[in-house]
Structure 1
Amino acid sequence: MVLSGVGVVSAQEGVVTHDCLLEPHMLVDLSSPVPGVIASINADRGDHVKKGAAVVQLESSEERAIVNLNQAELAFGEKTVSRNHELYRQNLISAQELDELKLKSELSRLELAVARTRLARKRITSPVSGVVVERLMDPGEYVGELPMLKIAALDPIHVEAVLPKELFGTVQPGMEAEVSLEAPVGGEHQARVAVVDQVVDAASGTFGIRLLLPNPDNRIPAGIKCRLRLIGKEL
């Protein structure tokens, strides 16, 4: 959609509205931090996902086995240190020997932490709350750098508008606006100016602004055309 930047005077005298368009707050191409084979995908096109929710699981049997091995080694090392404390008190082993056993146990603890981190990286979570707009891969496929899901964050939703240069300097961040959505969504909503471009386009004689419209339930979709009226100014 091309926004003209030309205001339209409504039947109500002195009220001017401007074309606008709703866009996602953020559009995320979700990829994996590590390569691997997809074991399962827990989200599909149109699904709502929460920030931090597991949406993709990579095959991780080897990583789980290593974690189990490291856990066993750590448990054995801790028991060995505990038993040898008594031998040290009885002067049956030296302080150096006991320190070496403690070091081995601590190294096992660190190896377990590394193994758990590698296992956790096979579980990919959503970095945002939003809606899945595209699923790009399926279980069994190998994932490298390419994205697996595309997620749109819709709260708050962006309201993009283009205004004539004559209004430059009269619109400030924090200014409120009334946004009327086109059918079939419809309705009027309150938004607030977040960004005012500081460069005027010489060819069109316009500048852009962005408003934030609260959308906690993700009920308002992106891509909807709208009209906005800046409150408190005869614009």
Structure 2
Amino acid sequence: MTPRDEHPAAETHPPVQPADDLGFDLPAPAIVTPIRLIAVGLIAVGVLGAAFATAYLPRRSARIALEQGVKAQEGAALRVEVLTPKVLSSDRAMLLPGSVQPLEETVIYPRVSGYVRKWLVDIGDKVTEGQLLAEVDTPELDMELAQARAQLAQASAGLVKAQASRDLSKSLLKRYQALVPEGVASQQELDQRQGQASVDEASVTVAQATIAAQNANIQRLRDLKAFARLVAPFAGTVTSRTIERGALVTAGNGTPLFRIAATDPVRVFVGIPQDVAPSVKVSAPAEIKVREFPGQPFQGTVARTSGALDAATRTMNTEVRVPNPDGKLLVGMYAEASLTLPSPHRVLEVPATALYSDSRGLRVAIVTAENTIHFTPITVERDTGATLQIATGLEESDRVVKLANAELSEGMAVEILSPNP
């Protein structure tokens, strides 16, 4: 090994740099002169002035203009849009519910007691007035009639006997009246004969009255016997039969036999509201509709009215009579009656927006001839949603404020925006 290997040459190290060394040399600092500072300040002031002129000044001008406009409006009258009420037709179409009822309907009960011999009609049969419906056997009534006839014969014999006694008493009285003056008979015997003649005369009267009573009793039984034949009281349709042959029936209303209804024409009863009840006239036309016959109305007329309002519903019961020759309208059907009735008072229409409601009630604002606001109370007859039908409170010539609002007050001066011709 050479001495070089034993003593290697000393290692070379790079020079140490300071910690704040950036690795490059900074340029020399610029020297700000007073002229440059003044220029920069002027530029900044110019920028700020431009920003101020662009943002603040227009807003200030707009605010000033708005304030001036508000002040101008405060001194000016409120502008409102008005219209005149619309006069509605006095005729009012109404659709009212009703019920189909027969013109006449009755339940036939037995007038005499007995057994049903036969019945001749059944439900659905058309009958005429006086037509035989059924016959009843009346054995007890027949015996009573025979007994009454026997009593009549007995009374007739009693009358003959009483007349014979009366005639004898009268003859004896005449004899005694001739014998007493001659002294053959006493006055007492004459008085006895006179009394007996009066008694016998009264006996004849009693016998005649008995005969008359027996004749009346026989006639009564004959009339009852006639009720053994049940006949229809009027022309109609048999709607019910509740008897069979051999059934025992008792006189009175405990055993219904038949039900008969006259269905041509029929009656439809409807309730007319109070507001148009005074306008209902007899013979006024009416149209009846039932859902079983859509598109097929039945024409009728008002036959009569009750002339009074029901205390619970405030409606007037009205009868509409409808011809029913083919029997399409059945008793008990639900029906709707369409009537056109004139309103008893004039009705005006205004938009619903004109209504002003507060603690003083329902009112509308109208513009007077001096262009001031006046609130007038109204009576609303009907509210259709978009419009109001006014019964009282308005005139045709009134100028009604179309849009009621809280800015309006009594006596306020207003300016008409666009009056409705």
TM bucket normalised to smaller: 0.5 to 0.7
Aligned to 1:160: 269
Q: CA deviation at 1:198?
A: 1.7
Moved more, 146-155 or 95-104: 95-104
Aligned to 1:191: 301
Distance across 1 between alignment mates of 2:111 and 2:327: 31
Moved more, 25-34 or 90-99: 90-99
Q: Decide whether the 8 Å contact of 2:264 with 2:327 is kept in 1.
A: no
Change (3 A) 1:184 1:69: farther
Identify the match of residue 287 of structure 2 among 171, 176, 179: 179
Q: Deviations over 1:68-127 (max 9, x none)?
A: 443354356447646875774464894244334324323322331332244244444444
Change (3 A) 1:89 1:159: same
Q: Decide whether the 8 Å contact of 2:114 with 2:136 is kept in 1.
A: yes
Distance across 2 between alignment mates of 1:176 and 1:45: 35
Q: Superposition pairs for residues 103-122 of structure 1, below 5 Å?
A: 103-122=209-228
Aligned to 1:18: 95
Q: Decide whether the 8 Å contact of 1:31 with 1:148 is kept in 2.
A: yes
Change (3 A) 1:215 1:68: farther
Q: CA deviation at 1:133?
A: 0.7
For normalisation by structure 2, the TM-score amounts to 0.41
Distance across 1 between alignment mates of 2:275 and 2:283: 13
Q: Deviations over 1:6-26 (max 9, x none)?
A: xxxxxxxx8846254422234
**Structure with the higher helix share, 1 or 2:** 2
Q: Decide whether the 8 Å contact of 1:157 with 1:213 is kept in 2.
A: yes
Q: Secondary structure at the match of 1:158?
A: strand
Q: CA deviation at 1:233?
A: 3.6
Aligned to 1:55: 133
State yes or no: 1:151 paired with 2:257: no
Distance across 1 between alignment mates of 2:210 and 2:119: 39
Q: Percent identity?
A: 14
Aligned to 1:212: 320
Given residue 339 of structure 2, which amino acid in structure 1 is its aligned partner?
L
Identify the match of residue 277 of structure 2 among 141, 159, 169: 169
Aligned to 1:32: 110
Task: Name stretches of at least 5 consecutive residues in structure 2 with no aligned partner.
Answer: 1-90, 173-196, 344-421
Aligned to 1:46: 124
Change (3 A) 1:152 1:171: farther
Given residue 217 of structure 2, which amino acid in structure 1 is its aligned partner?
E
RMSD, aligned α-carbons: 4.1
Distance across 2 between alignment mates of 1:63 and 1:233: 62
Aligned residues: 217
Q: Superposition pairs for residues 73-84 of structure 1, below 5 Å?
A: 73-74=151-152, 77-78=155-156, 81=159
Q: Deviations over 1:168-212 (max 9, x none)?
A: 43542525123245549956433115236723767xxx8464323
Q: CA deviation at 1:38?
A: 1.9
Q: Decide whether the 8 Å contact of 2:118 with 2:245 is kept in 1.
A: yes
Q: CA deviation at 1:157?
A: 1.7
For normalisation by structure 1, the TM-score amounts to 0.66
Change (3 A) 1:121 1:188: closer
State yes or no: 1:64 paired with 2:142: yes
Q: Deviations over 1:119-167 (max 9, x none)?
A: 244444444442111112212112341312122233552113356x585
Q: Decide whether the 8 Å contact of 1:181 with 1:225 is kept in 2.
A: no
Distance across 2 between alignment mates of 1:129 and 1:218: 15
Distance across 2 between alignment mates of 1:162 and 1:100: 63
Change (3 A) 1:207 1:99: closer
Moved more, 192-201 or 27-36: 192-201
Change (3 A) 1:222 1:175: same
Aligned to 1:5: none
Q: Secondary structure at the match of 1:24?
A: strand
Q: Decide whether the 8 Å contact of 2:300 with 2:321 is kept in 1.
A: yes
Q: Secondary structure at the match of 2:277?
A: coil
Query: If you compute each CA radius of gyration, which structure gives the higher value, 1 or 2?
Result: 2
Distance across 2 between alignment mates of 1:102 and 1:180: 65
Change (3 A) 1:60 1:189: same
Distance across 1 between alignment mates of 2:298 and 2:288: 4
